Copies of this chain bind each other. A is one copy, B any other.
Amino acid sequence: MSTVEQHSQEPQWLTAPQLRAWRELTFLMGQLPTVLDAQLKRDAGLSYLEYYVMAGLTEQPNHEMRLSDLASRSSAELSRLSHLISRLERRGFVRRMTDGDDRRFTRAVMTEAGLAHMAEAAPAHVEEVRGLVFDVLDDSEVEVLRSCVEKINKQLH
């Protein structure tokens, strides 16, 4: 993203404040998942996505969810999630079961080993998130940040 002028249709560039904000945002989106991934890999042997997929399952009523629901919640395409679940399955953290109601659906279910692993992993990860994000923001900043990000997210469906 630059401020160079060009093209016939006179494209509207970002204003200087917008550009500054955008640079910060792209840096955040690039670095924060990377740093959290490193922490999770080091402390729990899980990737960022693996952790959030298992976290999503864990907080569900029976620690289970349909793959398609899990995919949309975790911003992963179905194929990627399917491979990921296969790897977690091989490690004994989750298992698959076909849905009785509609046999097209597959449900992923946390195993005891998976739940135990998450219980081990969670405290250090939460600590990392607090240290990186919430320790530098006061309550009103948290609210206003959430409000802005929420508005953007609505544009993303």
Where the two chains meet, the residues of A that have a C-beta atom closer than 8 Å to any C-beta of B are 1-2, 4, 6-7, 9, 11-14, 17-18, 20-22, 24-35, 52, 55, 58-59, 74-76, 119, 122-123, 125-127, 129-137, 139, 141-157
Contacts and interface: CB of A to CB of B under 8 A. Distances in A.
A84 B135 CA distance: 35
Contacts of A2: 55, 58-59, 122
A156 B12 contact: no
Given A2-B59, A123-B11, A152-B136, A129 B28 contact: no
SS class of chain A's interface: helix, strand, loop or mixed? helix
Contact of A14 (B4, B33, B129, B143): B129
Contact of A27 (B18, B75, B76): B75
A75 to B, nearest CB: 3
Contacts of A4: 58-59, 119, 122
A137 B153 contact: no
Question: How many of these chains are in the complex?
Answer: 2
Contact of A155 (B131, B145, B146): B131
A129 B24 contact: no
A9 B126 contact: no
B22 A133 contact: yes
A70 B103 CA distance: 49
Nearest to A2: B59
Contact of A25 (B119, B126, B149): B149
